[in-house]
């Protein structure tokens, strides 16, 4: 079975907000996540899907509270890019998480890497 953690206080009351699930580059992707938080993520409700060892993500998870952590290694099936459709798949063994980025976000912020 796949186990996960998400700070429940972070998802309470977000039904009227735009929520993005964002494929992450594992615990070592902190700089990329911080960049998103400072740019188009600011003012939006966002969650980063991060796999890997809990010890590597625990501090960021507890401090910022926007991580959906899964206890499986990350394996990318499809890479998300600005030129491809805004869809990507992140596979954790038998579980697949599909994520769609809304075109309006990419169009408002064309310089987002």
Burial class of 62 by CB neighbour count within 10 A (0 to 12, 13 to 18, 19+): exposed
Give the pLDDT score at 19.
Answer: 58
- For the segment 13-41, what is each residue's pLDDT rounded down to a tens digit? 665 555 566 666 666 788 888 988 898 88
Q: What percent of the chain has pLDDT over 70?
A: 48
C-alpha span between 97 and 109 (Å, rounded) = 24
Give the pLDDT score at 63.
Answer: 94
Q: How many domains does the chain have?
A: 1
**Residue with the larger pLDDT of the pair 1 and 88:** 1
CATH code at position 11: 3.50.50
Give the pLDDT score at 64.
Answer: 92
Mean pLDDT value of segment 44-63:
87
Question: Which segment of 4-8, 60-64, 73-77, 104-108 scores lowest on mean pLDDT?
Answer: 104-108
Does the residue 113 lie in any domain? no
C-alpha span between 23 and 110 (Å, rounded) = 18
pLDDT at residue 49 greater than cutoff 90? no
Going by the DSSP 8-state scheme, the letter that residue 42 receives in this structure is T
pLDDT at residue 55 greater than cutoff 50? yes
pLDDT at residue 76 greater than cutoff 80? no
Does the residue 93 lie in any domain? yes
Query: Which residue range(s) make up the domain with 28?
Result: 4-108
């Amino acid at each position: 079975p796949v186990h996960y953690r998400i700070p429940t206080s972070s998802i309470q009351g977000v039904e009227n907000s735009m929520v993005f699930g964002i494929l992450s580059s594992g615990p070592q992707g902190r700089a990329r996540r911080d960049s998103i938080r400072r740019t188009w993520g600011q003012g939006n409700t966002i969650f980063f899907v991060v796999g890997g060892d809990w010890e590597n993500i625990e501090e960021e998870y507890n401090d910022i509270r926007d991580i959906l952590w899964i206890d499986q290694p990350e394996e990318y099936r499809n890479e998300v890019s600005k030129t491809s459709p805004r869809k990507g798949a992140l596979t954790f063994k038998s579980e697949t998480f599909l994520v769609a980025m809304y075109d309006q976000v990419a169009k408002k912020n064309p310089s987002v890497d």
